[in-house]
Structure 1
């Protein structure tokens, strides 16, 4: 029995990455809102999470540019 790998389908990668970016931005906003009512430990945790989210956003935005470039050259 011979196994064949699926072909690389990158047609919707840019859309998926954009959704992740939007979700991450929404999570940042929600965390900022929760920081206004939480105790000091909760505020610190939310702040640390948002810092990681900001780093993720940079990486996602770079990946989105790469996908958009790939799609533009392969259209």
Structure 2
């Protein structure tokens, strides 16, 4: 028989995970910038630049989520 009970929502390490995702996204952006510098293909450069723009948007979203997590943690502490 399977257990259909949902797992509790453990948000204790969300901020760490988000910070790690930001770090790795920035690393990917830097590597992409290096490849732009060595690429002579305009289409490839455009694609990399577009991808880095999406990465910048993702980083902003991650940072927003970190702020939300901080506020959620403050709210939880108020009710303890």
Scaled to the shorter chain, the TM-score interval is 0.7 to 0.9
Q: Which protein has the larger Cα radius of gyration, Structure 1 or Structure 2?
A: 2
Any unmatched runs of 5+ in structure 2?
none
Aligned residues: 75
- 2:46 corresponds to which residue? 44
CA distance in 2, matches of 1:62, 1:28: 19
Q: TM-score, normalised by structure 2?
A: 0.83
Any unmatched runs of 5+ in structure 1?
none
Deviations 1:24-64 (A, max 9, x none): 11111111111001121211111010011111111111001
CA distance in 1, matches of 2:7, 2:33: 42
Q: TM-score, normalised by structure 1?
A: 0.87
CA distance in 1, matches of 2:32, 2:66: 24
